[in-house]
Copies of this chain bind each other. A is one copy, B any other.
Amino acid sequence: MKLLQVDTVAQAREKLKKAIQGLEVKVQELPVEDALGKVMAEDVHAEEDVPGFDRSTVDGYAVRSADTSGASENLPTILQVTGEVEMGCAPTHGIGPGECMYIPTGGMLPPGADAVVMVEYCELFSDMEIAVYASVPSGGNIVYRGDDLHSGRVALAKGTVLRPQEIGLLAALGKQRVQVVKPWEITIISTGDELIPPGGEMNPGKVRDINTYALQAVAKKTGLEVCGCHVLKDERDLLKETIWEAMRESDIVAVSGGSSKGRKDETASVIGELADGELLTQGLALKPGKPTILGYDASTETILLGLPGHPSAAMIVFQLLIGWLWEDRSGQKKSWPIPAELTVNIPAAPGRAVCQTVQLVRDEDGRRKAVPVFGRSGLISILTKADGYIMIPENQEGLKKGETVDVFLI
């Protein structure tokens, strides 16, 4: 029985991380409206206060709060209306004791005022006078200049993933463009004499090419850019030449193949020849995912990845290694797993981690349950039935029914 010196997922991650540690993070500049989902490559400082002036948060009357002290429904305070703040303009004058001005939501607070009474608590007596039926504390219904962001401060930090609210904040800061981490470019290569493209005619022994499509989609979902796809016959020279070509324009070259006799070793040896020195990893202590190969070439700055031929295993390994590396590299927050109660025991042999796919369901009481999706290795339909996966570490002999596990969505 042949024993490979396999790595744990953590070891493989460390080796990858170390291999690329000298690489500069590539940056690209995008219009703010095209940056949704991208990762910020710079700290963005506020160059102006937001808001730029003290603003009312309601429609109402700008007042001196002291003037409203003690006002109630039974005992209103009468104030003199000296004018109106126009939206988008500086107030034409300030207010003195016993005076007030109408102010719309978002309007600029006039000098002398320190609060706004909501219009709902006021009654207009004449064009010149209102009754105020409630008191308002100093600062009431106002946001002050710089409450959102102070000029000079870091508004959004490097590594932030741009969600709609961050896009909004960039707009609030007057930014039209933003520096984001340039996605890695990846070439995907599938090898196998048996592969037939989706439209092609099937013959006995042939199978449809799944990995080219599944891995493209995983790469896109991870945030990478697919710069090329190749489906190759099983020929060593062709494979080597195609990988070498791809290394010149890609940050990652991922090769997945079935595993006909000797083919696995051949992919490993080709990657070994193209990578610097020896392979980083030659086998993962992970089920599924054992036949995983990692190499790195410094001259072209390319990660070389040999993936299992089974589509499910290839997708999971891609997510665990390249997905992790991209998050780590671009400084993103890790995503939140969903806790759920395991519905059955899951046995696992120590020495090898297990990535177990599960469905998430709610029982009658609304509790989250993780129901393992079992099936023979290599079935693609298992992943389509699953909502996520749980990891059983290599030093653990399985999980017990009723345990709370962390489900990572896929």
Contact = CB atoms under 8 A, between A and B. Distances in A.
Interface stretch (A14-22, A105-113, A296-304): A105-113
Contacts of A164: 214-215, 217-218, 221, 315
B205 A148 contact: no
A344 interface: no
Contacts of A48: 202
A273 B273 CA distance: 72
Most chain B CB within 10 A, of A168, A176, A377, is at: A168
A207 interface: yes
A212 interface: yes
A259 B104 contact: yes
Interface in A112-163: 120-121, 143, 147-149, 155-156, 163
A204 B108 contact: yes
Contacts of A107: 205, 260
A409 interface: yes
A1 B213 contact: no
A402 interface: no
A264 to B, nearest CB: 8
B206 A88 contact: yes
Interface string A185-208: 000000011110011101111111
A199 B177 CA distance: 10
Contact of A376 (B84, B121, B147, B166): B147
A211 B207 CA distance: 50
A52 interface: yes
Contacts of A51: 207
Contacts of A268: none
B105 A258 contact: yes
B260 A106 contact: yes
A57 interface: yes
Contacts of A172: 208, 210, 311, 380
- Counted per complex, copies of this chain come to 2
A263 to B, nearest CB: 8
A220 interface: yes
Contacts of A37: 221
Contact of A168 (B88, B315, B375): B315
Contacts of A204: 52-53, 89-90, 108
Interface in A298-328: 309, 311-312, 315
A165 B357 CA distance: 12
A171 interface: yes
A383 B165 contact: yes
A202 to B, nearest CB: 6
Contacts of A211: 168
A376 B32 contact: no
A205 B163 contact: no
A156 B384 CA distance: 9
Contacts of A409: 336
A167 interface: yes
A15 to B, nearest CB: 25
Contacts of A86: 205
19 contacts: A36-B217, A59-B259, A87-B258, A90-B203, A90-B204, A104-B261, A106-B258, A108-B204, A164-B214, A165-B311, A165-B312, A167-B217, A168-B213, A169-B384, A170-B213, A171-B210, A172-B311, A336-B360, A336-B387
Interface of A: 1-2, 32-33, 36-37, 48, 50-53, 55, 57, 59, 84, 86-90, 102, 104-108, 120-121, 143, 147-149, 155-156, 163-176, 192-195, 198-200, 202-218, 220-221, 234, 258-261, 263, 309, 311-312, 315, 336, 338-339, 360, 368, 375-381, 383-384, 386-387, 409-410
